[in-house]
Copies of this chain bind each other. A is one copy, B any other.
Amino acid sequence: MLKEIGLEKVTVKSEFWNYYIRNIKEKSIPFQYKVLDNDASVKIENENKIGTFDDERSNALENLRIAAGISEGERYGTIFQDSDVYKWLEAVAYSLYTAPDKELQALAESLVDLIEKAQDEDGYIDTYFQVQEPKLRYRMIYYSHEMYCMGHLLEAAVAYHQVTGNQKILKVADKILDNLDQNFGYEDGKIKGADGHQEVEIGLLKYYELTGSKKALSLVEFLLDIRGQDPDFYKKELERNEREGLPIKYSKVPSDLYYMQAYAQPKNQRTAQGHAVRMLYMAAAMARLVVHNQDREIYEACKAIWRNIVDRKLYVTAGVGSTVHGEAFSGDYDLPNDTMYCETCASIALVYFAYEMYKFEPKVEYIDVIERALYNGILSGASIDGTHFFYVNPTEVHGAICDTNPGQGHVLYNRPQWYSCACCPPNFARTIGSVQRYFYTVDEAAQVVYGNLFAASEITCFDDQLSIVQQTSFPKQNEVSYEVKGNGKEYELRIRIPYWASNVKLELNQKVIHVPAEDGYVSFKREWQEDRLTLTFDTAVMSIRANARVIADANRLTVQKGPFVYCAEGVDNPYPLTAYRISAAAVKAAKTIGTTKDLSAVKELGIKALRIPAKVEEGGEGALYQFDTTVTFKEEELTLIPYYAWANRGTKDMMVWFHQYS
């Protein structure tokens, strides 16, 4: 079993990632706090134009103050508004590893104080139910998000305690565990159901990993076992409320058990169904539980769900969730480019799932997906300036259609500053703000350290007996060196050779060596002293075809170089993006043609394309339909940029999958 290396053991030196980490610290964290405190002049947008959430302000901090009895007034916002605060706190915790900051820490401490005050004596904390619907506490868990919010608080508590040693937040977590344990379980008098939105399972597992609390582990086992056992559980909840004359809220939700993965016990599920974030938070918790209890039944379910996603439901950007309806997975191979959801949180959750699977069995395909998500579908979730965020990450956008066709109304071409359902921005901050956790993984029993991502960094592992300084300007340049210092004891270092790297050359202490990659890794087992391992490689421009069953990508190609999927934006290309056609050969011959004016770090690729006439004077346009016309294609260069950097320069059109002529 593998373990994360521990954030305290990693120093990030990567220029690429530090840009984001710095952005999160300097812009996102202060900005998000202001939003949560109703202190920012910010335009809050609805996340899919069909939602009906309140969108005047966040009010999340004020809600806690009201629950704490410090403020008076009306609680405001979504039922799960509290979670935004907790994700912010978690992001702050990770930021304190990379950049200690007393002022920020003081702000966080004051938040911890507030949370402690807001928590009830019995450990319960959820401002919606504390303030607005006290009678419905744990009585409508199909939609209450109570455990969802407490799960995020548990995650924040563990992270914040780990970096600061703060005891107060740990006590808050202890009390939450007690409260949950008193209320949920197979024992008589306890509720035999699980939250409609999975999340607490992850929080409890992190708490277990920190404290060793068996109670926490058992609770996760219970929650993942009870789910789906009684298909009528949520209906009965409602009926009981009705019978007892309690208010009925959000009553439509429990009708779709697939939406919340309650159609079967998790261990008996085999495909990715329903709401993508719920599905993947659950899968991440299942896999994380397996890391601790080696439950084979749950592991089989995890493997099947993983295969279903990776073989049939994964966008090339590592987006997931093909439909806005229920923010959900749809059928196999249904990967529409323009009506999809691909919520930032869903790709984040996919990374969590993949990483737990990797810890249990270190197969490189998990890292491949993590890398694909980090460099593409997650990174696209935030603007280069760090203050604007996507909820939906499409692979094709035609602004004129998004503006007029409600079926694509949820697809935006500008990142809003904030959302009424604001899960994504703080989720981005906590995930990319701790991206270094994916650089290395260790197997302490086998004394192996896995180098997964190329990213300049310094780590120590095996009780600081081994240190690795990774020097590289990747992704700018394709040379990576590892300075490994050891105590002469034997350790194995496994370096992942990505599938996109070609002409890989290795030198150990300046001598060329030939080590074949096995299962995606080159392995060096030696008694390290002061050694230097150097890798050079090429990142050729690759064309990608989708499986013939993917209707949306038929007769299309996309482009990848290194870990980056590329896209074309209207702002760089003068004709409608659909007018360009490319070939696999043209992709192979693509050239780096410069760096984008307004995005200094972003390299442009140029591909020779055949362009269909698109203007009347070129023999195109005019009538809506043309009969028996002969078209003379024009040679034209199609300019591409990495997908993650799209929508930073006011474009309205973007494509990832290009039409193909050969």
Contact = CB atoms under 8 A, between A and B. Distances in A.
A406 to B, nearest CB: 4
B404 A331 contact: yes
A631 B332 CA distance: 23
A397 to B, nearest CB: 10
A322 B312 CA distance: 28
Interface string A291-322: 00000000000000000001110101000001
Chain A residues touching B, majority SS: loop
A362 interface: no
Nearest to A588: B628
Contact of A624 (B314, B622, B623): B314
Nearest to A630: B584
B332 A405 contact: no
Interface stretch (A62-70, A220-228, A262-270, A542-550): A542-550
A195 interface: no
Contacts of A612: 548, 554-555
A551 B398 contact: yes
A347 interface: no
A499 interface: yes
Given A339-B407, A404-B331, A659-B554, A547 B316 contact: no
A403 B581 contact: no
A613 B545 CA distance: 12
B405 A334 contact: yes
Nearest to A576: B548
B551 A579 contact: no
B543 A407 contact: no
A632 to B, nearest CB: 12
B622 A547 contact: yes
Given A330-B401, A547-B621, A627 B499 contact: yes
A662 interface: yes
A154 interface: no
Contacts of A543: 627-629
B334 A404 contact: yes
Nearest to A579: B548
Given A584-B630, A621-B548, A405 B579 contact: no
A123 interface: no
A624 B312 CA distance: 6
B661 A326 contact: no
B584 A628 contact: yes
A503 interface: no
A380 to B, nearest CB: 18
B323 A405 contact: yes
Interface string A378-412: 00000000000000000000101101111100000
A475 interface: no
A163 interface: no
Residue from the set A311, A332, A544, A624 with the largest chain B CB neighbour count within 10 Å: A624
A628 B613 CA distance: 28
A614 B622 CA distance: 36
Interface string A129-145: 00000000000000000
Nearest to A404: B331
A614 B549 CA distance: 7
Nearest to A335: B624
Contact of A627 (B311, B542, B627): B542
A625 interface: yes
Contacts of A631: 545, 584
A59 interface: no
A200 B425 CA distance: 52
B578 A544 contact: no
Interface in A644-662: 659-662
Closest 8 CB pairs of A and B: A331-B404, A554-B578, A325-B406, A555-B659, A548-B614, A330-B405, A548-B620, A330-B404
8 contacts: A334-B405, A544-B625, A544-B626, A546-B625, A549-B621, A555-B612, A555-B661, A584-B628
Given A331-B401, A544-B627, A584-B630, 9 more contacts: A330-B406, A331-B403, A331-B404, A499-B627, A551-B576, A551-B578, A554-B578, A554-B659, A661-B662
